[in-house]
Structure 1
């Protein structure tokens, strides 16, 4: 092929050796999307449809959920999948629309750092949640009794 001709439309480009990260990113987006649908609708059903619905959501409801390992892992899995899914989607948009290589690199690094920080912070909140912290300012009787019993 000479410099004046174009490659055929479906001619594959030569690819570097090693793992195909774009393919794995594409697969992750599909798999995490399906899992997120199940996790999010389960979360919404439990929070909005059971018992008192939206009127039952208060500090006690959240404290009760975070006292159970099942709901801790449910929320952490939802957090991790959603943040990685969103960061990967934003990475795709940056790669499509940002033309400068240096700017693209800075933005992608910023995306992954922000996602990593939020994942770390959210995971710490879920697993270290203690409803008895700050009890001295509470006016909720059940909380005062529960924390006094510990």
Structure 2
């Protein structure tokens, strides 16, 4: 199998997995508990405190960027006729997707809800209980 065939197979497989990940994400964020009214910084901080949801969101992030980048690569290959321009665009798409994957992964795994928290914050008690802030 050549690269184009693997790209085609990846698009179908990642599309199915992305549907499951996205609908799971939407269900948990919007339907469970108080729904959209409970969706705030504390809710996201609580989600990012568990490895399961960190990996869920990172997998969704990785697949979305790779899926989108591969789709854009396919469009460039189909419609850009100049070889140099096509190569430059494919490289730019790959670099942009790679950089955004790295940055997004760092945000998810290094997220600290207690960074800069003050006593007036709704997270103060949680951060004190965790021993991160306070006396």
TM bucket normalised to smaller: over 0.9
Q: Is the aligned partner of 1:50 residue 2:36?
A: no
Q: Deviations over 1:73-99 (max 9, x none)?
A: 000000000000000000000001100
Instruction: Please state whether the residue corresponding to 2:81 is helix, strand or coil.
Output: coil
Match of 1:144 among 119, 124, 127: 124
Q: CA RMSD in A?
A: 1.1
Match of 2:93 among 111, 116, 122: 111
Distance 1:61 1:146 in 2: 12
Cα offset for 1:145?
A: 1.6
Match of 1:26 among 8, 17, 21: 8
TM-score (norm 2): 0.93
Match of 1:132 among 92, 107, 114: 114
Which residues of structure 2 form unaligned runs of 5+? none
Instruction: Please state whether the residue corresponding to 1:113 is helix, strand or coil.
Output: helix
Could you tell me which residue of structure 2 aligns to residue 10 of structure 1?
A: none
Distance 1:79 1:133 in 2: 24
Distance 1:47 1:146 in 2: 21
Decide which structure has greater helix share.
Answer: 2
Distance 1:115 1:55 in 2: 32
Distance 1:147 1:74 in 2: 24
TM-score (norm 1): 0.84
Pick the structure with greater CA Rg: 1
Q: Is the aligned partner of 1:74 residue 2:56?
A: yes
Tell me how many residue pairs correspond in the alignment.
Answer: 130
